[in-house]
Structure 1
Amino acid sequence: MKEKTNYGNWVPEKALYLLFGLAGVFLVVTVLLGVMVQMPVITVIAGVVCALTFAMAVYMLVCHEAFAFGKGNMMAGVHKHLVEHLDWDGEGKMLDIGCGAAALTVRCAKAFPKAQITAMDYWGAEWSYAKEQCERNVRLESVADRVSFQKGDAAKLDFADETFDAAVSNFVFHEVRSTKDKRNVVREALRVVKKGGVFSFQDMFSQKALYGDMDAFVEVLKAEGISEIHYIGDLEKKLDFIPGFVTTPWMISGMGILYGKK
């Protein structure tokens, strides 16, 4: 049997199993309360909880299918949008910050066949991704000779200033737990880009609780030496491949892109 790549999903299968499992437990509890205990009020409450849990499970399953590579392909569309905003000739070294299962890494490797790509991530069981999974995916995609992986912290990259000709990152900065100010994660990503190098970052930039006033932040970055920088916010309302049902506060909300040249 031919091996297949595994890029995971923004809705992990473990979460689906948990939600449907909980719905099943609440269903059993509801039936037992109704038949054996005969406590109408508590039975109704348990039934409502069961129905809500099942509804959330179904919703998350629909989102999972919309995101999935080879199905709804929304994740692929988001990666494509990021790469389309990277104005680069592909000559030199690229860094993928927070590569997850290397889906964006592979897209970049195919879009820029002359590039040497370093991809880093914190990985760990809580994220449902692993370095070995990344290495397997790039091997199956026939780009392993131009890609290397290493474990690291996006808030403190293990690279010297101006190491890379290009840098990308997708939905990572807001997840970094080692620093409270997410703007500093952006600055750290820019630190390792060469003067004249390019970058394209997508994250929850339009969420003011995370980044504050992004227009003001763009002006600050310009004052700090970034020669060309653009910001587009609320992308979930502007990109036609993102279905409305995923644009909820707990799924995709406040998506933005920050791109340009250092």
Structure 2
Amino acid sequence: MNRGRPLGDYGVDAPWVPWMMVGFGVIYLVLSGCAFWLWDSPGFGVVIGVIGLLMFVSAWLYWHTTRRGKFAVWREVLAETPAATRVLDMGCGRGAVSIMAAQQYPQAAVTGIDLWRSVDQSGNTPDAAERNAQLNDVADRLSLLTGDMTQLPCADGSFDLVTASLSIHNIHTADGREKAIDEAWRVLSPGGRLLIVDISKTREYEQRLRDLGAADVRRRPVGWRMWWSGPWMATTELRAMKPIA
């Protein structure tokens, strides 16, 4: 079993963010230099310089998370989940979690659905996801759909595992996020499991799942490997199971 990052190119999540951090880091270091050598204000220069260095550290953590950390976390999340045969990945992007699910569960048929927005992931297209699937020899078990996770084009109870990686928070309204949770629940078969890994709103998702009658609901932080700049932008895993009536 492949335990590392799958073969292929998976872009960068919200690619403008790390470059913004680098840009601010440069600005703060320039201001720090001005404080030391032009404004005769070394105390202010030290403070601004430290902030600038922290911006570079934050950018490094972000790059590590998007290029390596999230893959390691998802390998563990999937390994801790019982085998599935019908998997839906909501907001699949360039296919990272979809492909890892296909690798983890060799008998599974995997469906990935996305709106293919490059603002959420660089180079996000179905062709990019298809190329990655082919590189990992899972293209014959991975189907890609264009669609909205708040209106899934799937029948009730179609999947025994539904995943969502860093996708539901991109819906900007609480009503929209609730619809996405409701849709994930609708297409999940009795006894099936829902796995959400996201950077915010997971308490909101948890409450909605409890309202829907979810069983075995668990939330936990996944640690520094998915810090999107630092602990103030940490990632949380949320698990739930649909009871068997």
TM-score (ref. length: structure 2) = 0.76
- Identify which of 204, 211, 216 aligns with 1:220: 211
- Greater RCO (Cα-Cα under 8 Å, separation 6 or more): 2
Q: Specify the structure having the higher radius of gyration (Cα).
A: 1
- The equivalent of 2:237 in structure 1 is 256
Change (3 A) 1:174 1:15: closer
Q: Is the 8 A contact 2:32 2:45 kept in 1?
A: yes
Q: Is the 8 A contact 1:23 1:54 kept in 2?
A: yes
- 1:8 matched to 2:7: no
Identity of aligned residues (%): 21
- The equivalent of 1:121 in structure 2 is 114
Structure 2 CA distance, aligned partners of 1:260 and 1:251?
24
Change (3 A) 1:249 1:181: farther
Structure 1 CA distance, aligned partners of 2:169 and 2:19?
26
- The equivalent of 1:164 in structure 2 is 159
- 1:232 matched to 2:232: no
Aligned to 1:157, the other structure's residue is in SS state coil
- 1:57 matched to 2:56: yes
Equivalent residues in 2 for 1:1-150, closer than 5 Å: 5-10=8-13, 12=15, 14-29=16-31, 31=33, 38-40=38-40, 45=44, 48-65=47-64, 68-69=67-68, 74-90=69-85, 93-129=86-122, 130-131=124-125, 132-150=127-145
Structure 1 CA distance, aligned partners of 2:238 and 2:202?
14
Any unmatched runs of 5+ in structure 2?
1-6
Q: Is the 8 A contact 2:210 2:217 kept in 1?
A: no
How many positions carry a matched residue from both structures?
233
Moved more, 23-32 or 160-169: 23-32
Any unmatched runs of 5+ in structure 1?
237-241
Q: Is the 8 A contact 1:88 1:198 kept in 2?
A: no
* TM-align CA RMSD: 3.3
Structure 2 CA distance, aligned partners of 1:25 and 1:217?
42
Shift of 1:152: 2.0
Change (3 A) 1:59 1:28: closer
Structure 1 CA distance, aligned partners of 2:166 and 2:182?
16
Structure 2 CA distance, aligned partners of 1:245 and 1:114?
29
Shift of 1:89: 4.6
Structure 2 CA distance, aligned partners of 1:24 and 1:127?
25
